[in-house]
Chains A and B, each alone.
Chain A
Amino acid sequence: MLFFILLTLSGQPKRLVVIGPKRAVQTLNPKIGVHTRLTDEVEEWKIQRTLAMVREMGSPWIVEYFPWGYYEPAKGRYDWAHADMVIDHAVAQGLTVIARIDFVPQWARPEETTFRYLDRDHFADYANFVYAFVKRYQGKVRHIIIWNEPNLSFEWGYRLPDPEAYTELLCLVYTRAKEADPQVVVLAAGLAPTLAPPGSEWGMDDLLFLERMYAAGAGSCFDGMAIHAYGLTFPPDDPADPQEINYARAELIHELMARHGDGQKPCYITEGGWNDHPRWTKAVRPYSRLEYTVRAYEKALAEWDWCQAVCLWAFRYPWPQKSYQDYFAFVTPEFVPKPVYTEVRHYARGEPFEYLEH
């Protein structure tokens, strides 16, 4: 008897987490958003804490990643527990979730391929998963992103980017998603901003990729566009230029859509922002990152009526990434807010800045 008592007491007590009543986000800029990364966050209290900090920062939008391979580990067998937790907590914090869906399970791809490898034989499996996801979260998740950066060979399973194949996938999934919920907003994948030369084995220029998507008939297969808007070393007001990668490249994506009659379709920046790694050639100084981030949110609100949300990369990682990626974060894995979090919160509340001079 003593043994069992000791055994019970020796384990770490689980933190009791209560979802609580629905909260609302207080913010002066309803377009503020962040890309959270709760995919591999195991502990529920950390999921709740992360999303609470998003709300407290004044961000009504989040993009979150829902890997197909995590939730359908075997064909037809679903495990929704983690996704349920993330979505329920997000909704309770008053956040609007944009769900990015990709990641091919092992059973749906050949051996020795990466989890970005999806071939035509399994397009229907992916579409079926999206149907199941949309159906389950109807009423809680209204926006879904189909795949991610298919214009990079890395994101297309290390095959040459194939806009026509991606369009085929998008159209198939669009139909299935609408069967699950006619109100769901299907977003075409955010394309990686890149100036890859024609024929590059590593990627395809995002503007060219999108043109070819339209040529393949993609126009009738999405309700909105996810856009990736990284500023690299340029300020947010640096003008858009097809030969530059900067924040304003998002305008070029929208203009291209408008030329194809899709100017009224909403766009959502689902990744973007600035990095302050001390040595990465595509990073800026930490102070500049504060300035640029606040200005990016301001710009979208004041100048981009076609842009519904700016969800910058990345709010917090469950553990250090041990790479330049850590320098995109707003909050550390230990929940310590970085100066960028502090200043965005001040901006969202209309309060004086702590670090910025204006």
Chain B
Amino acid sequence: MGMMMDLAAFFDQAWVARLAILKGLGTTVAVSALAICLGTILGVGVGLALTYGARPLRWLTRGYTDFIRGTPVLVLVFASYYVLGTVGLDLPPFEAGVLALTVFCSSHVGEIVRGALQAIPAGQSESAKAIGLTFTQTFAYVLAPQALRQILPAWVNTAAEMVKASTLLSIIGVGELLLRIQELISRTFLSLDFYFFAGVLYFAVNYAIERFGRYVERRSALPT
């Protein structure tokens, strides 16, 4: 009987707060989408620099990725939030958070791109050269398509990581889903119900991304 009353109270409160929850979900999507898009653009640049750059550029980029990957995401978020104010770039939490996640995403995407490009056998570019293609043509028609096959599943995985990382922005006060849920809990005291609810929502989103990733992997695979 107590359980039933709990569930009824939960659904009641959830319905009352539906707007806040939806707004939170919207913010989560916005944060994740921005971080993924900007992070991918930056990451492709990083990956290309690591693969084809001159020695000094490669060193610099390597330093960048090693530094970012050796730092916890939360520390990146805090650093972005606190530090940028002092150098005159006073960003509100949302922008600071997205910046941190973008940088984090770029280091992952950079590694993925580098790995995929370096996995292509040297013979591919050699034979392309032999039939007279320029580097740009080789990249566009021979290398990129093959690299993409390896990049896509890993990239989808990174996208899922970004959605999970968006929860960290609640700690600096960005109004995404987890923060909204926590506000709800502080009002209703239904911690168990609402944390479980949050878990279910995040699971649903990430599981959908996981399934999408497997679909992409199947579609992009070469016929056997």
A, B bound: no
